[in-house]
Amino acid sequence: MHVHVDFCLIPLGGDVSVATEIAECQRVFVERGLTAVMHAYGANLEGEWDEVMAAIKECHRRVHAMGRVRISSTLKVGSRTDRAQSLADKIARVEELLARKS
């Protein structure tokens, strides 16, 4: 099963800055060859369900290993059986509509 996941990890407690932890997650995705596009409130991931979910588990594991004792992540998980659609397709389709009207 192919999935699109929007992933946002938040460590609780300790340092109010979380950039180090977010950078570590980005490294996890790159190491595993996953498509991972960062935005200002998370990252869009694309791939097979099990691979994407294993990468997210590894993010929790590594951020705990960095000394963060509590984590809360938010995921949006999209799957569809009617047709293949990439992350880039989704944005392109909306931009096409915006260009047409204006």
Write the CB contacts of 81 (distance below 8 Å, at least 6 apart in sequence). none
Residue with tokens 């200002």: 40
Which parts of 16-55 interact with a copy of itself (CB under 8 A)? Answer: 16-20, 22-23, 26-27, 37-42, 44, 49-50, 53
Q: Compute the distance between CA of residue 62 and CA of residue 68 in angstroms, rounded to an integer.
A: 9
- Taking CB under 8 A as the rule, does residue 1 contact a copy of itself? yes
Q: Do 24 and 65 contact (CB within 8 A), yes or no?
A: no
Q: What is the binding site for a copy of itself (CB under 8 A)? A: 1, 4-6, 8, 10-20, 22-23, 26-27, 37-42, 44, 49-50, 53, 56-57, 60-61, 64, 69-82, 87-88, 90-91, 93-95, 97-98, 101
